[in-house]
């Protein structure tokens, strides 16, 4: 209950009325000042207004004001927050990619409602914290709270890989048991899950039996077919979209990707003509999809013309085109485009562009051009992260400049298993097996856990150097690390034993490989063929 002193403060206007008037003007900063004043006066903070202000901060991505509101709440009766205030705070922190604080708020709520559970699950789903989202879903079920439509949508979104399909099926069963009507959004989410997991038939069954297919439904199918190498089926699906549905940029983007995936240049041109006739607003994203389609269809001249004529373009647009030239090993063309980007648009190349160029220069013929690109990267001030650095190491290694590869490797912010494998492989490929073995020892001293790729590269060095003892030690380490003796690791072991003249251990290792392939057998067959 507000006291008389608390009610009247501003020339006969109540503090609450004054606060409401400020909120109507959406002056968040002033509203927070008033809340602070009310708190000093011992006036309880009004929950509805606090929620409205948090929502405003979320919408405007106003992190500073949102944090100030949280600090006010920590000193108020609303701490710990009610489920309603908590829901808003969770969504606020999630909007600023702050899962840690969102989780803290959730933990402080004694009896979370379905809305609170939905808020925290959605937060983890939106920020790709998939494992945690599924764990929270399980906890919610165990707590006795029944999921609703807004629970299932984010949970289905995280079940989009082969490893999570079993959980996705369980959730599908739970949806059916909950007697929840499969509206368009739920059905689309299920279709999307099955298609992304590669369960095409189950996705198709849902699509065929649906009586309320919308543009999202068609987009899910087209995208799913394309993702799993059925670009032609995706185009046929596009052709079946009913005339009554007005196509949008999402659909066109999906079908352009399908055209690019199978090199359907003619169909891609027709889609572009249709886009122009549709009078859709042509944004940067659509331009990038068109450029990418031409690049994938190896029509680089058309891609250049598209980029030049497009009203809006960004670093991604240039990156797609430069990567296309790089993939075709047209390094001079890629460098010319890089120069145009700098001169015409004043854009600095990003890590993606540099990685494309380094990959294109990974041979002796383009070694000098690779150095030029490296110098440009240094001048641009781009930090040498692990991905760019590893690609640079690979470029120098493949262009037979092993000293520079080693120097770059030493300057990496940290050295992971992949970067060590690249350097080890470089030494092996250029007849320096002993240096490769030294690299492996240095990697172990750095505390880096070797993976299958590292072991495979190092075993190749043992084979070249006929270092049987080193190879045996590596075999022991592979077993100790619990690595699966698959076709890659097992094949490298067999190859090492065969080239070191130890056919008995070679045969024994071959029998442990699962599954076996031709590559696994070749080393032993080759030895017997020589005798």
368 and 388 within one domain? yes
Q: Which residues contact 515 (CB under 8 A, 6 or more apart)?
A: 486, 487
Please tell me the predicted confidence (pLDDT) of residue 69. Answer: 81
Please tell me the predicted confidence (pLDDT) of residue 8. Answer: 42
What pLDDT digit, counting tens, does each position of 89-116 carry? 889 888 888 889 889 889 888 888 999 9
Any domain includes 376: yes
Nearest to 149 by CA among 125, 124, 184: 184
Judged against a pLDDT cut of 80, whether residue 277 lies above it is answered with yes
Judged against a pLDDT cut of 90, whether residue 39 lies above it is answered with no
Q: To the nearest 10°, report the CA torsion of 201, 202, 208, 210.
A: -170
Judged against a pLDDT cut of 70, whether residue 472 lies above it is answered with yes
Average pLDDT over residues 474-493: 86
DSSP string for 355-415? HHHHHHT-SGGGHHHHHHHHHHHHHHT----HHHHHHHHHHHHHTT-HHHHHHHHHHSSS-
Q: Please tell me which residue, 470 or 29, carries the higher pLDDT value.
A: 470
Q: Which residues contact 52 (CB under 8 A, 6 or more apart)?
A: 23
Any domain includes 445: yes
Instruction: Supply the range of the domain harboring residue 323.
Output: 314-414
495 and 510 within one domain? yes
Q: Yes or no: say if 218 and 246 are a contact pair by the CB < 8 Å rule.
A: no
Any domain includes 212: no
Q: Which residues contact 308 (CB under 8 A, 6 or more apart)?
A: none
Q: Please tell me which residue, 43 or 64, carries the higher pLDDT value.
A: 64
350 and 331 within one domain? yes
Compute CA distances 174 → 118, 149, 407, whole Å: 16, 11, 56
Provide the 3-class DSSP secondary structure of residue 14: strand
Q: Yes or no: say if 301 and 275 are a contact pair by the CB < 8 Å rule.
A: no
352 and 324 within one domain? yes
526 and 430 within one domain? yes
Average pLDDT over residues 364-369: 88
Any domain includes 358: yes
Average pLDDT over residues 343-351: 90
429 and 388 within one domain? no
Distance CA 102, CA 90 (A): 5
Please tell me the predicted confidence (pLDDT) of residue 77. Answer: 60
Q: Yes or no: say if 449 and 417 are a contact pair by the CB < 8 Å rule.
A: yes
Neighbours of 111 (CB within 10 A): 9
336 and 424 within one domain? no
Q: Yes or no: say if 254 and 289 are a contact pair by the CB < 8 Å rule.
A: no
Any domain includes 453: yes
Number of domains in the chain: 2
Chain position carrying tokens 């000293």: 403
Distance CA 492, CA 482 (A): 16
438 and 348 within one domain? no
Q: Place 524 in a pLDDT band, splitting at 50, 70 and 90.
A: low
What pLDDT digit, counting tens, does each position of 219-258 carry? 999 999 999 999 999 999 999 999 889 999 999 999 999 9
Which 3-state string (H, E, C) describes 282-295?
CCHHHHHHHHHHHH
Which tokens in the block code for residue 48?
């509805």
Long-range contacts formed by 286-291: CB under 8 A, 24+ apart: 286/249, 286/252, 286/253, 287/311, 287/312, 287/313, 287/317, 288/313, 288/314, 288/316, 288/317, 288/320, 289/252, 289/253, 289/256, 289/257, 290/256, 291/317, 291/320, 291/321
Least confident of 60-69, 392-401, 460-469: 60-69
Which tokens in the block code for residue 9?
């403060």
Specify the CATH number for the domain of residue 372.
Answer: 1.25.40.10
365 and 462 within one domain? no
Any domain includes 15: no
pTM of the full structure:
0.78
Q: Place 16 in a pLDDT band, splitting at 50, 70 and 90.
A: low
Chain position carrying tokens 């492996």: 440
Provide the 3-class DSSP secondary structure of residue 10: strand
Distance CA 520, CA 494 (A): 7
Q: Place 320 in a pLDDT band, splitting at 50, 70 and 90.
A: very high
Q: Please tell me which residue, 23 or 276, carries the higher pLDDT value.
A: 276
393 and 426 within one domain? no
End position of a domain, from candidates 396, 414, 432:
414
End position of a domain, from candidates 414, 441, 457:
414
The average confidence (pLDDT) of the chain is 87
494 and 383 within one domain? no
The alpha helices in 41-82, defined as continuous H runs, are 47-60, 63-74
410 and 422 within one domain? no
Q: Which residues contact 448 (CB under 8 A, 6 or more apart)?
A: 415, 416, 417, 420
Average pLDDT over residues 310-334: 91
Judged against a pLDDT cut of 60, whether residue 343 lies above it is answered with yes
Neighbours of 279 (CB within 10 A): 7
Neighbours of 98 (CB within 10 A): 17
Q: Please tell me which residue, 265 or 110, carries the higher pLDDT value.
A: 265
Judged against a pLDDT cut of 80, whether residue 43 lies above it is answered with no
Q: Yes or no: say if 92 and 98 are a contact pair by the CB < 8 Å rule.
A: no
Any domain includes 501: yes
Q: Yes or no: say if 145 and 114 are a contact pair by the CB < 8 Å rule.
A: yes
Please tell me the predicted confidence (pLDDT) of residue 66. Answer: 81
End position of a domain, from candidates 356, 380, 414:
414
Average pLDDT over residues 24-28: 73
What pLDDT digit, counting tens, does each position of 181-211 carry? 678 899 999 999 999 999 999 999 999 998 8
| DSSP single-letter state for residue 128 | T
Average pLDDT over residues 409-426: 92
Please tell me the predicted confidence (pLDDT) of residue 314. Answer: 92
Q: Yes or no: say if 148 and 114 are a contact pair by the CB < 8 Å rule.
A: yes
Side-chain half-sphere CA neighbours of 451 within 13 A: 8
What pLDDT digit, counting tens, does each position of 140-167 carry? 999 999 999 999 999 999 998 777 888 9
Please tell me the predicted confidence (pLDDT) of residue 3. Answer: 42
Q: Yes or no: say if 335 and 370 are a contact pair by the CB < 8 Å rule.
A: no
Any domain includes 452: yes
Please tell me the predicted confidence (pLDDT) of residue 7. Answer: 43
Q: Place 12 in a pLDDT band, splitting at 50, 70 and 90.
A: very low
């Amino acid at each position: 209950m507000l006291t008389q002193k608390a009610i009247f403060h501003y020339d006969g206007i109540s503090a609450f009325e004054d606060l409401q008037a400020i909120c109507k003007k959406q002056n968040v900063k002033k509203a927070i000042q008033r809340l602070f004043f009310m708190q000093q006066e011992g006036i309880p903070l009004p929950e509805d207004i606090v929620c409205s202000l948090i929502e405003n901060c979320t919408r405007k991505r106003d992190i500073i004001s949102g944090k100030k509101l949280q600090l006010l709440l920590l000193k108020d009766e609303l701490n710990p927050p009610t489920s309603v205030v908590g829901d808003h705070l969770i969504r606020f922190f999630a909007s600023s990619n702050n899962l840690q604080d969102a989780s803290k708020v959730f933990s402080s709520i004694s009896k979370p409602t379905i809305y609170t559970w939905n808020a925290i699950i959605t937060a983890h789903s939106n920020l790709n914290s998939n494992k945690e989202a599924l764990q929270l879903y399980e906890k919610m079920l165990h707590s006795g709270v029944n999921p609703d439509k807004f629970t299932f949508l984010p949970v289905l979104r995280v079940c989009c890989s082969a490893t999570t399909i079993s959980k996705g099926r369980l959730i599908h069963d739970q949806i059916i048991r909950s007697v929840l009507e499969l509206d368009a959004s739920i059905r689309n989410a299920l279709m999307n899950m099955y298609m992304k997991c590669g369960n095409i038939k189950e996705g198709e069954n849902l699509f065929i039996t649906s009586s309320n297919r919308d543009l999202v439904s068609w987009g899910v199918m087209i995208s799913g077919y394309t993702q799993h190498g059925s670009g032609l089926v995706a185009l046929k699906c596009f052709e079946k979209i009913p005339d009554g549905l007005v196509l949008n940029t999402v659909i066109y983007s999906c079908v352009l990707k399908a055209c690019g995936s199978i090199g359907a240049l003619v169909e891609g041109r027709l889609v572009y003509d249709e886009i122009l006739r549709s009078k859709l607003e042509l944004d940067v994203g659509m331009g990038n999809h068109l450029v990418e389609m031409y690049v994938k269809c190896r029509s680089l001249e058309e891609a250049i013309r598209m980029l030049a004529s497009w009203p809006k373009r960004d670093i991604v647009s240039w990156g797609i085109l430069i990567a296309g030239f790089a993939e075709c090993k047209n390094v001079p063309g890629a460098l010319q485009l890089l120069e145009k980007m700098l001169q015409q648009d004043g854009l600095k190349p990003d890590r993606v562009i540099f990685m494309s160029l380094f990959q294109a220069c990974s041979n002796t013929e383009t070694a000098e051009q690779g150095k030029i690109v490296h110098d440009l990267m240094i001048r641009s001030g781009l930090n040498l992260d692990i991905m760019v650095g590893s690609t640079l190491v690979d470029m120098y290694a493949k262009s037979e400049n092993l000293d520079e590869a080693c120097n770059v490797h030493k300057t990496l912010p940290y050295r992971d298993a992949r970067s060590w494998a690249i350097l080890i492989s470089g030494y092996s490929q250029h007849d320096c097996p002993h240096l490769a073995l030294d690299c492996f020892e240095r990697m172990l001293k750095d505390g880096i856990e070797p993976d299958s790729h590292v072991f495979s590269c190092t075993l190749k060095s043992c084979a070249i150097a006929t270092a049987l003892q080193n190879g045996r030690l590596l075999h022991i380490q592979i077993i100790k690390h619990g690595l699966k003796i698959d076709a890659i690791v097992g094949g490298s072991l067999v190859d090492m034993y065969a080239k070191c003249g130890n056919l008995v251990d070679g045969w024994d290792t071959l029998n442990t490989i699962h599954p076996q392939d031709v590559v696994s057998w070749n080393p032993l067959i080759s030895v017997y063929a020589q005798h």
